[in-house]
Structure 1
């Protein structure tokens, strides 16, 4: 090892001596260890910087997740609204179908009444005695 000399003020020398005593090593060993720990300190500083960057990225991702969560909730509400509209439309379609069916039945009744009214007496008597056959109904149409 190469030996070097340098000057230190008394206060700094006292701190170094106290640290060496705390570690129970000679002053020169403590000073060598302190100088050698500079590389480890740089590594730790780099690690801290890397972790800060990761933390920033995680915070950005958390903000993205929060925004996406809001969008998902909004889409779920929209989906529920559309499902309600769909159910209403299906109910309306069913109501309209029932109304059309009823209107067709009423039209059929009205047509039969008109046919009965316009039919000759002998045919009405036949229908009254024997009933109407589907062939006659089809022929009348």
Structure 2
């Protein structure tokens, strides 16, 4: 193992000493190694969280685009159905629609 020397503020030193006594029976080197390992693990977990957040955002964007496409296709399908109904309707029904307007909620085919 390599040896390093670190200077820390007094309050950090006191916290380290308390942690060393309570968790590592006074073995300061072991306590510092554990804290460094935890810090590195924390950084790795933060990076993983950020990656997953980006992945979730991309997935949500794809879902939104898919939903927009589904809505567009449904609108086009409805339009096509109305065109076919208008094309297949008898002349008197089309004249009625022209004069009074067409109620798209009713099924006009049942009138014919």
TM-score greater than 0.5 by the shorter chain: yes
Structure 1 residue aligned with 2:6: none
Gaps in structure 1 of 5+ consecutive residues: 1-52
Greater relative contact order (Cα 8 A, min sep 6): structure 1 or 2? 2
Runs of 4 or more consecutive aligned structure 1 residues displaced over 3 Å after TM superposition? none
CA RMSD after TM alignment: 1.8
Distance 1:102 1:78 in 2: 36
Matches for 1:61-72 after TM superposition, within 5 Å? 61-72=31-42
Distance 2:106 2:47 in 1: 58
Structure 1 residue aligned with 2:103: 133
Distance 1:77 1:90 in 2: 20
- Report the TM-score, using the length of structure 1 for normalisation: 0.56
Distance 1:89 1:81 in 2: 12
- Report the TM-score, using the length of structure 2 for normalisation: 0.70
- What is the number of residues matched between the two proteins? 86
**Once the 2 structures are TM-superposed, how far is the Cα of residue 92 of structure 1 from its aligned partner?**
1.0
Structure 1 residue aligned with 2:58: 88
Distance 1:118 1:124 in 2: 9
Distance 2:54 2:105 in 1: 47
Distance 1:105 1:69 in 2: 54
Q: State the SS of the aligned residue for 1:136.
A: coil
Gaps in structure 2 of 5+ consecutive residues: 1-24
